[in-house]
Amino acid sequence: MGRSIGAIGILAVALAASGCVADPPAAQKVSNSHAAETLGKAAVPADLNGKTVQLSYESGSGGTIMFSADGRTVTYTAADTGRRTTTPVAVESVEAGIFLVTWTDDSGAVISQVQDYRTGKVEGTWTRRDASGQAVIETRLGSVHLTD
């Protein structure tokens, strides 16, 4: 009896295995909307070289920054006036998707911003001289996102 139970067990396993192999499921196809070549750019950039970003501040102002391909200059265009400034820039990666960006605008103000592309937030300071020559520091909070 022991042999027949063993033989039945082996036969059952063999039948189950052959059933799986003989009738495999149809191959699955990835839809075009999920294919790697159709996905957009990552939301968190590795660097800002050649990127264009939109800034909006809680104060109502804002603008567009175009970073040069080599990352050495920026062109800032103010949204409210259209004033355009092209100037050297310093960009330091703080951690993945977060950058400290510093430049001087055409009025002599030094702008330093922490641009966080993970959260879409920007925090910055504007340091300029007032009419009496005293340094004045403004802070601004807002949003930042890639446009390209």
What are the residues facing 111 on neighbouring strands? 103, 126
> What Rg value do the Cα atoms of the chain yield, rounded?
29
What is the band of 61 on the pLDDT scale with cuts at 50, 70, 90? confident
- In terms of Cα–Cα distance, which of 142, 100, 102, 101 is closest to 121? 142
pLDDT in tens, 4-40: 555 555 555 454 555 544 555 555 454 444 444 444 4
Whole-structure pTM value: 0.69
pLDDT in tens, 73-100: 999 999 999 999 999 999 999 999 999 9
Sign (positive or negative) of CA dihedral 117, 123, 127, 128:
positive
pLDDT in tens, 107-132: 899 999 999 999 999 999 999 999 99
Report the alpha-carbon distance of residue 94 to residue 148 in Å, rounded. 22
